Amino acid sequence: MIKQVVTAKRLAVASAVLALAVLAVKYIGSPDHRDTASAPEPARAASAQPAPVTGPASPAPAQMPSDRPPLTPEENIEAVLQKDKQLALFMQYKKSVLLDAVRRDEYRKLLSDTRMLNEVAAALMQPGSGPVAPEEHYHRLMQIDYLDAAMTWKDNPQRAAVLEASGGVISKDNFVADLQSDRKQMLAGNKMELYRKVYDQDPDRAEALVAQAQGTRMEPLLRWMSQENARRRDKESEIRTEMANLAARP
């Protein structure tokens, strides 16, 4: 069993990204940025009105108590990897401290696999539906890990394609009508984390995504992501300077 695949530090960062994404989601969910093509105006107006009361509400069916506690992060991760064998293989390689020549070649082959790249990018572009289950959340984080590893390998023959696909995920307007708020937050958080990774590898490409979004419904979100990323980098620079000054003291 693969345990502790996603570290506590990584989960803390992801949680912070999701919390910040709440601020960004307001642009997508606000009236000024609503998808007006999703439904005729009369239908939207009607849906805003409370339903008429025709009689006393029927009591909700009793829920059978569950004796099983919620799954732990490790159990959710294991459930994901049981279903996604390619991702499981990637995570095995990723968590290995040392790889011999054969396994290193296998790992690099996986990182340059265009079929896996396209499948991961397509999956991250899908908005999904309903409440966000923990298993889906961890699955998406590990898919982003795959894109990160593939673009971080400088000699990857498919590196340009990885960066292009990652930019497509970031720019994709997958905030379809009737998405629940937690799903909007997850999608925005995924885009924010992936934007940071693209910026770390190719700042010009990341900034170009913001420029390309001008005049679209995604512009406010991408602009916010750029600004938030700049604040993060400035803060990290301040911390490094403070640490260096502390280390230099007698």
pLDDT digits (tens, 9 = 90+) for 53-80: 344 444 444 444 445 567 787 787 888 8
Question: Would you list the domain boundaries of the chain?
Answer: 8-36+71-248
Report mean pLDDT in 10-residue bins for the chain, 250 residues.
45 49 56 40 36 41 53 79 89 90 95 97 95 91 96 98 98 93 94 97 97 96 94 91 88
Give me the pLDDT at residue 118, please: 97
Q: Write down the pLDDT at residue 197.
A: 97
Q: Print the SS3 string covering the chain.
A: CCCCCCCHHHHHHHHHHHHHHHHHHHHHHCHHHCCCCCCCHHHHHHHHCCCCCCCCCCCCCCCCCCCCCCCCHHHHHHHHHHHCHHHHHHHHHHCCCCCCHHHHHHHHHHHCCHHHHHHHHHHHHCCCCCCCCHHHHHHHHHHHHHHHHHHHCCCCCCHHHHHHHHHHHHHCCCCCCCCCHHHHHHHHHHHHHHHHHHHHHCHHHHHHHHHHCCCCCCHHHHHHHHHHHHHHHHHHHHHHHHHHHHHHCC
What pLDDT was estimated at residue 22? Answer: 55
* pLDDT at residue 79, as a whole number: 81
